[in-house]
Structure 1
């Protein structure tokens, strides 16, 4: 293979990686559309987006030090912008407690963490040594990120359900890892290639688990049972409350009906009340009969 064709192949994998990574960055959009409609973040967390922003900033710093990884700079710059939008959107609609926790995480990872990495590597190392140190930091952090799906894999095996493992996202992440693996391999940059080996491995594992368990009957976990029981209790309490309210309404209707019966008078009382405990009804008038007495002449 000629050096020119080799460079074209590297460029092709880099461009493909940019396209796939861009689609992966857009994958949380349905979540934020749901948040916008409900005007609430509900149970969602900002951790994935803060971690994604930190990772993108770290790779940009590494690519700037390397000087020959322009495609890493382009896609991670787009990633920084998208993740920042997600974080701002989350903070705007999150309740006060979640908003404070998100701000603490941003300060810890972005301001303190990334700031320390840049400051220490810039002043305590130089030249090739700085590139090696930052490369190892990127490698270790990427490995930690790629190990995150282990929790999903464990849950799928335990529940025998693929409910929480979207197959399209798993396929996109696998394809993304494959493209960046070959890009790093062709560049002879093992800081890029090695973490994506783990990404490909876990991606393929998720795809296999999906096809193994997609038609299996899911096992209801203890948390699911507790949730169903809580919903059942809540439904019964709601029904009881509705029944009690209906009884009160019936009593009020009955009282209103009783009070609507006309009353003529009340004995020894001249008040204008309609409903009384003791009522006296006037007896009907006795007809007067005229008697004629005949007198003999």
Structure 2
């Protein structure tokens, strides 16, 4: 029994290490946001959902009482996702700020509040744990479907530039570690979703091997052309795809004090450029 628990501890520690590294994957994205002083073109929903998922798993681990390693990594996840959301909100345009607030209210206030209130007052602790576990497992399974978006993009473009191989490897390793952690603890709510995570991780690596030597394809769809997706590990038991769209910045309007006609032409040309950018 002691050996059984020690192996669970080992896999839990390894899962924490891998998931910690995956959680830091979006940092380059937010460095770009910091340099450009704008988050326009980037989406906040993956970070909102990651925060919601981490809160769920912390609640589950607290009720379970023997899953401290779930608490450690998801506590870090709450911290880092909050940091991402604050940075996004600070640099985001007004419309995106409003959307981010709405998403946070929907998932992290209303959604989590409903789940918490509907389970906390259940008298039987075992029943409460089972219901919450099913909710967490269902949510994790839904999250694991997210890689289908990037798989579709790779097949459509025949290019792996949207699917970093290293990140796919780490997500697959994380799924393996958390699967064995849940299996050794005899907790299928943890183990089962990671089977799907492992399958999608292997699928991504196979696609990378197939298309890694293909030349980059010019994408006709402008939305697809400007899209670059980062996979974000959700509760350290799952992953999801987050879009990273590069904003198109209009060129500054030049002036010519000596020639009013040239200035008017420049203004007209740049106005047309701005309209074209907005349409994109």
- TM-score normalized by the length of structure 2: 0.79
1:100 aligned partner: 98
**1:222 aligns to what SS in structure 2?**
coil
For structure 1, the 5+ residue unaligned runs are 229-233, 250-297
2:244 aligned partner: none
Q: Is residue 118 from structure 1 mapped to residue 116 from structure 2 by the alignment?
A: yes
Tell me the matched-pair count: 235
**1:61-80 pair list within 5 angstroms:** 61-80=59-78
**2:201 aligns to what SS in structure 1?**
helix
Structure 1 distance, partners of 2:126, 2:225, is 55
Q: Residue 227 of structure 1: CA displacement? A: 6.8
Q: Is residue 46 from structure 1 mapped to residue 44 from structure 2 by the alignment?
A: yes
Q: Residue 131 of structure 1: CA displacement? A: 0.4
**1:24-43 pair list within 5 angstroms:** 24-43=22-41
**2:121 aligns to what SS in structure 1?**
helix
Larger Rg: 1
Q: Is residue 181 from structure 1 mapped to residue 184 from structure 2 by the alignment?
A: no
2:201 aligned partner: 203
Structure 1 distance, partners of 2:147, 2:5, is 33
For structure 2, the 5+ residue unaligned runs are 227-247, 263-280
**1:261-272 pair list within 5 angstroms:** none
Q: Which has the larger strand fraction?
A: 2
Structure 2 distance, partners of 1:5, 1:134, is 28
Relative contact order (C-alpha < 8 Å, sep 6+): which is higher? 2
Shift of the 227–197 alpha-carbon distance from structure 1 to 2, 3 Å rule, reads: closer
Q: Residue 4 of structure 1: CA displacement? A: 2.1
2:9 aligned partner: 11
**1:120-199 pair list within 5 angstroms:** 120-124=118-122, 126-199=124-197
Runs of 4+ off more than 2 Å: 123-126, 217-222, 224-228, 245-249
Structure 2 distance, partners of 1:146, 1:11, is 24
Q: Residue 219 of structure 1: CA displacement? A: 3.7
Of residues 124-133 and 16-25 in structure 1, the stretch that sits farther from structure 2 once superposed is: 124-133
Q: What RMSD, in angstroms, separates the aligned Cα atoms of the two structures?
A: 2.3
